[in-house]
Chains A and B, each alone.
Chain A
Amino acid sequence: MALRNAVLRHLRVPVQNLAVRGSNQSQIGFLGSIRAFSSHDDHLSKQDVVDRVLDVVKSFPKVDPAKVTPEVHFQKDLGLDSLDTVEIVMAIEEEFKLEIPDKEADKIDSCSLAIEYVFNHPMSS
């Protein structure tokens, strides 16, 4: 009886750890594939973000699609002005269903910053 309880206690511990640690996944043996409390399993891959951001920039009428690379700067390389930058950032917000606050949006000056911001944002989809 005591042995059975001890064995059960040993087996039950990983589940309790999962509950206590919430969404963090640590090295939990056979339960490692289950992230019961994680709300964001399907975060975008970096390549996906890069592709979609570049598509948004390329579909902008004033932009020459051939010049668009993941490091291109909107004003220096693509010859856009600040209003165009605002427009592009709004288009990116719509593409990824985000709400970028003004302070952050002002800093997004180039494709690389945009990609980084979207990739690090937990709510991008």
Chain B
Amino acid sequence: MVAKCQVISLCRSLLRAGRKYPDYNIREYTKQRTLDGFRMNGNLTDQSKVNEVYAEGKEQLEVVERVLKVYLAYPPKTKNIMELNVQ
């Protein structure tokens, strides 16, 4: 039985974990993918399906956190052009 607040909490954890990546591309991707994923499954009424996708989301959260550790070990040497403030 997954409550709405748990879903929101999972979304927030995923977004927060995605923010920590040093690589601009992966940061943007995780943010967009979590939002898309939650929106796509936002209208489910079947509780078992909700539990299923919630469990998937939790797995993805673990993946994000695990991969983050690897990426933090090898941060990119230059700033991505999208991050530069072009005058």
Contacts and interface: CB of A to CB of B under 8 A. Distances in A.
Tell whether A pairs with B.
Answer: yes
Interface of A: 81-83, 86-87, 90, 94, 102, 105-106
B4 A102 contact: no
A102 B4 CA distance: 13
A82 B12 contact: no
B14 to A, nearest CB: 10
B61 interface: no
A92 to B, nearest CB: 13
A121 B39 CA distance: 31
B38 interface: yes
B34 to A, nearest CB: 9
Interface of B is mostly: helix
6 contacts: A82-B4, A83-B8, A87-B35, A90-B19, A106-B5, A106-B8
Contacts of B4: 82
Contacts, number: 25
Interface residues of B, number: 13
A105 B12 contact: yes
Contacts of A90: 12, 15-16, 19
Interface of B: 4-5, 8-9, 11-12, 15-16, 19, 35, 38-39, 42
Contact of B38 (A83, A102, A105, A106): A83
A66 B12 CA distance: 28
A102 B39 contact: no
Contacts of B39: 83
Contact of B42 (A81, A87, A94, A106): A81
Contacts of B35: 83, 87
B19 A86 contact: no
Contact of B9 (A81, A87, A94, A102): A102
A12 B5 CA distance: 57
A88 to B, nearest CB: 12
A86 B5 contact: no
